[in-house]
Structure 1
Amino acid sequence: MAKQHKFTVTAARGMLPLLADELKQLGIKNTKQDQGNIRFTGTLADAYMVCLWSRVAIRVLLPIAHLHAETPEQLYEGVNALPWEEHIHELDSTIAVDFNSFRSKIKHSQYGAQRVKDAIVDRFRTLFGLRPSVDLYQPDVRINVYLKHNQATVSIDLSGDSLHKRGYRVSNTTAPLKEHLAAAILLSAEWQKLARQGWALIDPMCGSGTFLIEAAMIAADIAPGILRDYYGFTAWKQHDKDSWKQLKADAERRRQSGLARCPVIVGGDADARAIEAAKNNIAEAGLHDRIQVNQRDLTEWPKLAADLPKAGLFVCNPPYGERIGRADELHYLYESLGNIINESFSGWRTALITDNAQLGKFTGLTLFDSVPFDNGPIACDVLFYRAPRPVRFNELSSTPTQFVDEEFDDKEHAPVEMTEQGAMFANRLKKNKKHLAKWARKSDISCYRVYDADLPDYALAIDLYDEHIHVQEYAPPKQIDPEKAIERLQEAMQIIPEVFEVPVTQVALKVRKKQRGKEQYEAQAAKNQRIEVRENGLRFWVNLTDYLDTGLFLDHRDTRQLVRDLAKGKDFLNLFSYTGSASVYAAAGQAKSTTSVDMSNTYLSWAEDNMHLNGFVSGQHRYVRANCIEWLQQAIEDDKRYGLIFLDPPTFSNSSRMEGVFDIQRDHVALIKQAAALLTIDGELIFSTNRRDFELDTDALSQLTIDDISVTTIPRDFERNKKIHRCWRIKLAV
């Protein structure tokens, strides 16, 4: 069996989910996502494969040591003691050092790099009487040192240079789009799937051709690193030449096979110099016979529409006011783009990257999603727009079937083109909507679930939040073909806003995967858009875009009501408090005091906002940032007591702010015992978990009185999914 190593793959802001998908597709399973990188365990061949095939990765690092380095001397001594002769050849070798520091005493990156270089050079002088030279451009071995909180990770940079440098860029234009960013935008727009289905691609402002080349490489299954003549591992002493040779050969075979499947890809630009640069780069990439580029003004594109497929991806990197254009004039450009797409490319999707998302409104197109990416030092958003006129996949070769619903037979809400299954889905949504609306109004509830994978073809959870819709896609059942599942999702996302009569921009879509191993649900975006909703006469802030969860667990509505019923005159403790919704209910139930404990400053601030929204602003309400497990132990030592405790811990947590890994099934007994130790004699603990296969160890908790209330805490809108959570009332045994 090949030797296993630990690797770190870095990526730019917003690209980690795409990188995670790439690693999964490459068959790399043992991964862990961190801030700015993904770590995995595998062979050298696995690392080489990432270097060759990842379209969004920046670097692939092989950590070889971890050192404590508060001073330059400690850094030097630690690096000097490492066996560099196992990595660097003794004769005529060159090295370079990249050094970065975060919240450490050694702050100057250039000085840190100098001390690391000195330590390596001095070791070679001592051992061999020779020293490696420095080559900052293409060294034989590039060393990466990352110093965080005075702890240094020393790595071999297997990529050698940033992986966005594909090797085809021989000509440039003003403010060119980096290759990995173009690839990330295309992957986010599902170009890989669309290309397989025969969709075309247009870039009317192609510049040096980056979008066009990356699109062709994705469509033709060409490894993004196949043209590179330099990697950081090729002169490394432990390089596995046979594995690399085999990977390169396989990639070349795939390239030859994929070129025949390349769809229509067309680009243009008003600048003749840009067209020349694009043609040079396209030729260098070996794609001159697969990509068409010509000099043409933006207004000329409608003339070409009749000769192109009915469906395609219209992708564009318009000028930014910060770089090459006046911001106060750019809205005319966006308006023109929107008019051209509406009038001549009505079956096409659109993806635009901009440093000013407000400009996108001038297109008049329907925004489907936006993703934050960085274009070099400029923070940007990629705006994804639906086709003005939806086109079924089979419309490329035949006429689509149209199902007309009388409810939509008006000018404002035109009928949606849908399959027979789509019509069934629409009817189920309308039935559920009608069934629950009266109940919700009577209960003063503006946020509730209206659909929960009722039909196997549409594995979605759909929640209403006032005039907004939150859609989560579950992994489809195994019997559903993955390609068919994607088509059904796209169809559902057309049907949902029609049924609920809301703009598409008020529908948020997320993909919810089952947690595996150490995976956790993390931030999804960074829009910071909150809306206010009502529940049982109380008000809460929710965020439908930035996180997988919205800030309000709807299935715990009845559990929160129980907290309100029990809270009067009691000191209330909310552990793992999240956004503090249970604390709001306790305060509304006239609790004597509330204490909300969570590790996240973001959630504690959110909890305080929720309390203030309902008028609970007095000093009797406390917000404590702490690891709940550590805080519980200290609270026991301090002899704190609470009349009511709400305990809803995460199923799993490996947060960087806590030591070790928390697993609810393994750790619940100790956690419940600690929480129960804080109860008053007549106090009560409400414990809940959403882990489906959870088993409460009642034998280990025999000193407590336990009442399973799971069934009675399932709200009406979750009756179709009675396993959504488990819940118990726990008291001290008398």
Structure 2
Amino acid sequence: MTQYELFAPAPKGLEPLLAEELRSLGAQNIAETRAGVAFSGDLKLAYRVCLWSRLASRVLLTVARFAAASPEQLYEEALLQPWEEHLAADGTLAVSCQVVRSQISHSRYAALKLKDAIVDRFRDRCGNRPSVDVERPDVRFNLHLDKDQATLSIDLSGESLHRRGYRTEGVLAPLKENLAAAILLRAGWPQIAAKGGSLLDPVCGSGTLLIEGALIAADIAPGLNRPYFGFEGWKGHQPDIWRELLLEARERRKVGLAQLPMIAGRDRDSKAVRAAHLNADRAGLGGQLHFSTADLADLRPPDNMEDRPGLLIANPPYGERLGERDELVHLYGRLGENLRRYFLGWKASVFTGNPDLAKELAIRARRKHNLYNGALQCQLLHFDINERWFFGAQKDQRPAKPAAPLSEGAQMFANRIKKNLRQVARWAKKNDISCYRLYDADMPEYAVAVDLYGPWVHVQEYQAPDTIDATMAQRRLKEAMAALPEALDVTPEQIFLKVRSRQSGRSQYRKLQEEGQFHEVTEGNCRFLVNFTDYLDTGLFLDHRPTRLLVQQMAAGKRFLNLFAYTGSATVHALKGGASSTLTVDMSRTYLEWAQRNLALNGFQLDENHRLLQADCLAWLEQAEGSFDLIFLDPPSFSNSKSMTGTFDVQRDHVALLRQAVALLAEGGVLLFSNNLRRFKLDREVLADLEIEDLTAATIPKDFARNSRIHNCWRIKARNT
């Protein structure tokens, strides 16, 4: 079947989620952009996305690209396109247009020129022309102008996919359906529903969050009730394929409804509750969802949910419905009080346009996501309703033993931590970074590294030299640990401590404990599991963050090889960047299992194109075959693992290692080589036949700028012959 270039626009902030969803639907060559996600597939895949995407706004099928630096050039080029292959001469059409950084600056004028070219071609060839119908045309054409380059597409959706067909009336400023779905996906609702957990919205409005939650939990295609799709009047439409997909979706709906968990909503506005009932009925969920009129002050788990804790989801007013900030402060305060009192063991996610008001909940957020409701930037805050996360919990647990005042040195350490946090946190927030180094032995007497992983703090004590009194070093460590909770506004339970000594060979990856506690963190559009207790390292090397982002930027359509892959973080970035295939190689089964969990966390599954391989990378390279467009090589400085036949020294052995890796590069392929040996020197003289670019300075992130020798990095290619 013919493969098409496709594009799915999405609201700002939903692109990573949409890429995961498209991958799960079978899309290929996925590449995120600021406005949506590009992908490829056959017509059945395009129809499937129209029917099943919970996040996309539209599905656009590309039919032509050309330069359009002026209205005249746009008209002449469009006049040459075979529009009669898509639309009947007596049909109807509409044209939409977006203009970005182009000499043609008015989207309406550009749309008009395209419409003129289409109808003029029909008039010249057929003697008559199609008419315009902006509401429900046979074919809606889309023109996207970016830097004077035109992309012409068929809008297969017809109207925005967020219009599911169930909402007949709403209350003030309801959430769009695809934003509601994104909130639920970020909140982990699919996993909670799969375990039989309940869903409750105490400020449900017209019920959008709960209806979308039911569609997700019952495996119901969000487009199943839509009365119209844009491809139905298109001459390329294949009705047999569409009927097959509809039949499959109806069968899945029948099965899913029988397994729907408890879902309930409340609102103090009786008109909103009536609208929610009507919308649920139109969605085919009449009698499945439970709505009632109730004030937030009376919030309790409904009787049928008492033994089925799950997710409380809420989109409290931003100010439009209840007015002044003082009333909103009271509303958030009541919500937090009832969560702490009656919802222990539940999860909660609150979507708000006033993040400062979330402090009134008096519960620490475990995770946060930035999303947009229209043009308004909002935050989605995730909570575990557990006493350890309540404000003041630490004080309540130790009433008889007030904290001792900090020593002068410890107070200086605390002040430095606060100063660093003020400086680095702004940069981190601006760049969507949640895991970063905050302090790295800035004060020599407090020789620790402090890393933030979202709400958790990872502290590593550097082994003191023999010249430092061990008792003094231990006292200063205790002082630092005592200062951190107050300086960072965290509980002691959120802080994890390790002693980091010089490591070599297999000891640098040795297991320390057997707790098996993993925590989820984010890095841009990627999610990772980290472990603060069981190993010397957490599973995510923070100084390599820019290098991983570089991998993602370079990966679109590439065959990617990750050597010495550790927990597979570079592979996740490559897949996020649209790598066509990946091979992830490491000697450790433990780390490969960890890598597989990281892949699954980001919506990626192993198949014939995306594989994990347990092998000694050195031995594997000696007999490896294949061709790769992008290779990431990050070996240890030294290794004498029992799984190896000899030892490895990156300084001694790097020339042979690089030559073996370069031999696997396809024409034009790139090798990214990195290591953490501070005194490492690349033998450029012996490797003079290779094209080598030093990326070290460019890949040292701001939070590690105080320690510019933390790693080395090069971009290496075979020279053109």
Tell me the TM-score range normalised by the shorter chain. 0.5 to 0.7
Equivalence map 1:346-495=2 (5 Å): 346-389=344-387, 411=398, 446-447=448-449, 489=519
Matches of 2:112 and 2:336, distance apart in 1: 53
Matches of 2:260 and 2:443, distance apart in 1: 54
1:701 aligned to which of 681, 684, 687: 687
**Which amino acid in structure 2 is aligned with residue 67 of structure 1?**
F
**Which amino acid in structure 2 is aligned with residue 447 of structure 1?**
A
> Taking structure 1 as reference, are residues 24 and 210 closer, same or farther at Cα in structure 2, changes over 3 Å only?
same
Matches of 1:727 and 1:380, distance apart in 2: 37
- In structure 1, what is the equivalent of residue 26 of structure 2? 27
Q: Is the 8 A contact 1:366 1:388 kept in 2?
A: no
* SS state at 2:366 partner: strand
- In structure 1, what is the equivalent of residue 179 of structure 2? 181
* SS state at 1:320 partner: coil
Residues 1:515 and 2:513 are matched in the alignment: no
- Alpha-carbon deviation of 1:301? 2.2
Q: Is the 8 A contact 1:199 1:309 kept in 2?
A: no
* SS state at 2:266 partner: strand
- In structure 1, what is the equivalent of residue 8 of structure 2? 9
* SS state at 1:261 partner: coil
**Which amino acid in structure 1 is aligned with residue 246 of structure 2?**
K
Q: CA RMSD in A?
A: 4.6
> Taking structure 1 as reference, are residues 669 and 267 closer, same or farther at Cα in structure 2, changes over 3 Å only?
closer
> Taking structure 1 as reference, are residues 55 and 698 closer, same or farther at Cα in structure 2, changes over 3 Å only?
same
**Which amino acid in structure 2 is aligned with residue 74 of structure 1?**
Q
**Which amino acid in structure 2 is aligned with residue 204 of structure 1?**
P
**Which amino acid in structure 2 is aligned with residue 173 of structure 1?**
V
Matches of 2:2 and 2:669, distance apart in 1: 39
Matches of 1:67 and 1:310, distance apart in 2: 57
Q: TM-score, normalised by structure 1?
A: 0.59
> Taking structure 1 as reference, are residues 115 and 300 closer, same or farther at Cα in structure 2, changes over 3 Å only?
same
- In structure 1, what is the equivalent of residue 155 of structure 2? 157
Residues 1:81 and 2:67 are matched in the alignment: no
Cα deviation per residue 1:557-609 (whole Å; 9 max; x = unaligned)?
A: xxxxxxxxxxxxxxxxxxxxxxxxxxxxxxxxxxxxxxxxxxxxxxxxxxxxx
* SS state at 2:31 partner: strand
**Which amino acid in structure 2 is aligned with residue 337 of structure 1?**
L
- Alpha-carbon deviation of 1:27? 2.4
- Alpha-carbon deviation of 1:328? 3.6
Cα deviation per residue 1:127-185 (whole Å; 9 max; x = unaligned)?
A: 11111111111111111111111111111111111110001111221111110111000
- In structure 2, what is the equivalent of residue 208 of structure 1? 206
Q: Is the 8 A contact 2:30 2:577 kept in 1?
A: no
Q: Is the 8 A contact 1:450 1:464 kept in 2?
A: no
Cα deviation per residue 1:39-61 (whole Å; 9 max; x = unaligned)?
A: 11210111111111111111111
* SS state at 1:329 partner: helix
* SS state at 1:314 partner: strand
1:128 aligned to which of 104, 126, 129: 126
* SS state at 1:31 partner: strand
Matches of 1:37 and 1:377, distance apart in 2: 16
* SS state at 2:129 partner: coil
Q: Is the 8 A contact 1:6 1:63 kept in 2?
A: yes
Identity %: 41
Q: Is the 8 A contact 2:123 2:129 kept in 1?
A: yes
**Which amino acid in structure 2 is aligned with residue 98 of structure 1?**
S
Matches of 2:516 and 2:286, distance apart in 1: 32
* SS state at 2:281 partner: helix
Matches of 1:517 and 1:499, distance apart in 2: 23
Matches of 1:726 and 1:320, distance apart in 2: 48
Matches of 1:671 and 1:249, distance apart in 2: 47
Matches of 2:107 and 2:270, distance apart in 1: 42
- Alpha-carbon deviation of 1:383? 1.4
> Taking structure 1 as reference, are residues 300 and 130 closer, same or farther at Cα in structure 2, changes over 3 Å only?
same
> Taking structure 1 as reference, are residues 286 and 412 closer, same or farther at Cα in structure 2, changes over 3 Å only?
farther
Mean CA deviation greater in 487-496 or 134-143: 487-496
Equivalence map 1:661-672=2 (5 Å): none
Gaps of 5+ in 1: 392-406, 414-436, 452-459, 472-484, 501-508, 523-547, 549-650, 652-661, 673-686, 691-695, 711-723
Residues 1:68 and 2:64 are matched in the alignment: no
Q: Is the 8 A contact 2:519 2:531 kept in 1?
A: no
- Alpha-carbon deviation of 1:308? 2.6
- Alpha-carbon deviation of 1:519? 4.7
Matches of 1:516 and 1:274, distance apart in 2: 42
**Which amino acid in structure 2 is aligned with residue 277 of structure 1?**
A
> Taking structure 1 as reference, are residues 170 and 63 closer, same or farther at Cα in structure 2, changes over 3 Å only?
same
- Alpha-carbon deviation of 1:3? 1.0
Matches of 2:575 and 2:663, distance apart in 1: 12
Aligned residue pair count: 489
Matches of 2:309 and 2:303, distance apart in 1: 10
Residues 1:38 and 2:37 are matched in the alignment: yes
Gaps of 5+ in 2: 401-438, 462-479, 489-493, 497-514, 522-527, 537-544, 549-566, 579-601, 603-657, 677-681, 697-709, 717-721
Matches of 1:517 and 1:212, distance apart in 2: 32
- Alpha-carbon deviation of 1:488? 5.2
Matches of 1:70 and 1:119, distance apart in 2: 16
Cα deviation per residue 1:613-632 (whole Å; 9 max; x = unaligned)?
A: xxxxxxxxxxxxxxxxxxxx
Matches of 1:697 and 1:141, distance apart in 2: 61
Equivalence map 1:600-679=2 (5 Å): none
- Alpha-carbon deviation of 1:108? 1.2
Matches of 1:448 and 1:365, distance apart in 2: 24
Q: Is the 8 A contact 1:315 1:350 kept in 2?
A: yes
| Larger RCO, structure (CA 8 Å, separation 6 or more) | 2
> Taking structure 1 as reference, are residues 727 and 333 closer, same or farther at Cα in structure 2, changes over 3 Å only?
closer
> Taking structure 1 as reference, are residues 344 and 186 closer, same or farther at Cα in structure 2, changes over 3 Å only?
same
Q: Is the 8 A contact 1:175 1:323 kept in 2?
A: no
**Which amino acid in structure 1 is aligned with residue 89 of structure 2?**
E
Q: Is the 8 A contact 1:203 1:314 kept in 2?
A: yes
* SS state at 1:57 partner: coil
Q: Is the 8 A contact 1:208 1:275 kept in 2?
A: yes
Matches of 2:158 and 2:495, distance apart in 1: 43
Q: Is the 8 A contact 2:89 2:130 kept in 1?
A: yes
Cα deviation per residue 1:605-659 (whole Å; 9 max; x = unaligned)?
A: xxxxxxxxxxxxxxxxxxxxxxxxxxxxxxxxxxxxxxxxxxxxxx9xxxxxxxx
- Alpha-carbon deviation of 1:514? 3.6
Matches of 1:34 and 1:121, distance apart in 2: 32
- Alpha-carbon deviation of 1:209? 0.6
Q: Is the 8 A contact 1:104 1:148 kept in 2?
A: yes
Matches of 1:314 and 1:95, distance apart in 2: 44
- In structure 1, what is the equivalent of residue 241 of structure 2? 243
Q: Is the 8 A contact 1:50 1:60 kept in 2?
A: yes
Q: Is the 8 A contact 2:440 2:448 kept in 1?
A: no
Matches of 1:668 and 1:408, distance apart in 2: 61
* SS state at 1:515 partner: helix
Q: Is the 8 A contact 1:669 1:697 kept in 2?
A: no
Matches of 1:122 and 1:438, distance apart in 2: 68
**Which amino acid in structure 2 is aligned with residue 335 of structure 1?**
G
Matches of 2:204 and 2:130, distance apart in 1: 43
Residues 1:97 and 2:106 are matched in the alignment: no
**Which amino acid in structure 2 is aligned with residue 286 of structure 1?**
G
- In structure 2, what is the equivalent of residue 581 of structure 1? none
Q: Is the 8 A contact 2:92 2:138 kept in 1?
A: yes
- Alpha-carbon deviation of 1:252? 0.6
Matches of 2:3 and 2:529, distance apart in 1: 43
Equivalence map 1:476-555=2 (5 Å): 489=519, 513-515=569-571, 519=575
**Which amino acid in structure 2 is aligned with residue 372 of structure 1?**
N
Matches of 1:164 and 1:669, distance apart in 2: 40
- Alpha-carbon deviation of 1:516? 6.9
- In structure 2, what is the equivalent of residue 263 of structure 1? 261
> Taking structure 1 as reference, are residues 192 and 703 closer, same or farther at Cα in structure 2, changes over 3 Å only?
closer
Residues 1:314 and 2:312 are matched in the alignment: yes
Q: Is the 8 A contact 2:441 2:448 kept in 1?
A: no
Mean CA deviation greater in 370-379 or 119-128: 370-379
**Which amino acid in structure 2 is aligned with residue 515 of structure 1?**
T
Q: Is the 8 A contact 1:310 1:347 kept in 2?
A: no
